[in-house]
Homo-oligomer: A and B are copies of this chain.
Amino acid sequence: MEFDLKTYLEEKKAIVETALENYLAQEGGVYQEILEAMRYTLFAGGKRLRPILCLTACKVVGGEEEIALPIACALEMIHTYSLIHDDLPAMDNDDFRRGKPTSHKVFGEAMAILAGDALLTQAFYLLSHPSLLEKISADRLLKVINIIASAAGYKGMITGQVMDLKATGQKINMETLENMHRHKTGALIIASVKSGAIIGGGSFSEIKALSEYAHQIGLAFQIVDDILDVEGNSKEMGKMVGSDEAKQKSTYVSLLGLEKAKMAAENCIKKAIEALKNFDKKADPLRALAYYIKERKK
């Protein structure tokens, strides 16, 4: 495969960031403070994985990537809100994220809580904006809102975080660990791909195949995260290596050992590629992304 993933990711990242800047421009006056806090973490340099998956899924099923852009940006806002709240002192109490001081370290706890709340709410504002109806039917848009709200809600991301908090300092088994990650990160990654595919007009079987792909890369992403926490380089990672162990968190590495964890990641990638078998070369970015997740260093 000769697909240039690096260029692809850079291009899409730039498109997403320009759109985010448009959707959440800094203002003066009474909104200045909250916007500053919202924008600080939103523009703190993420990989934009979820929005890129959304845009790509839209294109893979034959849709115009541009139409999915507001959906993609809403997903990134929700992801960012979850990072801000997860980092809070009452939660994971992290001082750094992506190499920068976390929101509550810069703006204080109250503003960090509110910035998260505001990003979550703004995502739904964006998803329901009348201007989207120029290119997306109201029915399709509602479906996407419902899927995203479900993935971000207590049946998804939030229970993942509850399970994560409970698991800290505890020895949990493999089933619980997988269930936790399925909720905490898997649900929103699947929703990203699914919403892109719906906006692009994908068929039932296309959406199903892409969801399986997303499930597998989500899992692989998490396993590799755990491996990097042991093997990685602090500077590249932008956070402390070994922090899982220090926090006594159960991980794929602590439960399976390093070698078996690597094999498990490999296996997920295989299944992800297999899920794409009925797609043509339009799906090459997704294939390349799956391989990249396994090889990534940060």
Interchain Cβ contacts under 8 Å between A and B, 10 examples: A35-B154, A88-B110, A90-B108, A90-B110, A113-B113, A121-B153, A125-B146, A127-B145, A133-B139, A141-B142
CB closest chain-B residue, reference A93: B110
Given the interface pairs A110-B90, A162-B34, the reply to whether A117 lies near B155 with Cβ below 8 Å is no
CB of A34 within 8 A of CB of B154, answer yes
Given the interface pairs A31-B154, A120-B121, A179-B30, the reply to whether A145 lies near B128 with Cβ below 8 Å is yes
Asked whether A159 is an interface residue with its Cβ less than 8 Å from the other chain, the reply is yes
Complex contacts, A90 vs chain B, CB 8 Å:
108-110, 113
Alpha-carbon gap, A195 to B137, bound state (A): 21
Given B117, B139, B145, which contacts A145 in the complex, CB threshold below 8 Å? B145
Q: Mark A150-169, 1 if CB is under 8 A from B, else 0.
A: 10111100110111011000
Tallying the copies of this chain within the complex gives 2
Alpha-carbon gap, A158 to B155, bound state (A): 25
CB of B142 within 8 A of CB of A113, answer no
CB of B121 within 8 A of CB of A149, answer yes
CB distance from A20 to the nearest CB of B (A): 15
CB of B142 within 8 A of CB of A130, answer yes
Complex contacts, A165 vs chain B, CB 8 Å:
110
The 3 A-B residue pairs whose C-beta atoms are closest, nearest first, are A138-B138, A90-B109, A125-B149
CB of A124 within 8 A of CB of B145, answer yes
CB of B142 within 8 A of CB of A128, answer yes
Asked whether A50 is an interface residue with its Cβ less than 8 Å from the other chain, the reply is no
Complex contacts, A109 vs chain B, CB 8 Å:
90
CB of B118 within 8 A of CB of A120, answer no
Complex contacts, A130 vs chain B, CB 8 Å:
142-143, 146
**Extra pairs beyond A34-B158, A85-B113 (19, CB < 8 Å):** A30-B179, A30-B183, A85-B114, A90-B108, A90-B109, A91-B110, A91-B113, A113-B113, A114-B162, A117-B117, A117-B158, A121-B154, A121-B158, A122-B153, A125-B146, A125-B150, A130-B146, A138-B138, A145-B145
Alpha-carbon gap, A153 to B85, bound state (A): 16
Alpha-carbon gap, A166 to B159, bound state (A): 32
Complex contacts, A125 vs chain B, CB 8 Å:
146, 149-150, 153
Task: Report which residue of A111, A125, A127 has the largest number of chain B beta carbons within 10 angstroms of its beta carbon.
Answer: A125
Asked whether A38 is an interface residue with its Cβ less than 8 Å from the other chain, the reply is yes
Asked whether A129 is an interface residue with its Cβ less than 8 Å from the other chain, the reply is yes
Asked whether A33 is an interface residue with its Cβ less than 8 Å from the other chain, the reply is yes
CB distance from A111 to the nearest CB of B (A): 7
Given B38, B124, B142, B162, which contacts A133 in the complex, CB threshold below 8 Å? B142
Complex contacts, A159 vs chain B, CB 8 Å:
30-31, 34
Complex contacts, A137 vs chain B, CB 8 Å:
138
CB of B128 within 8 A of CB of A149, answer yes
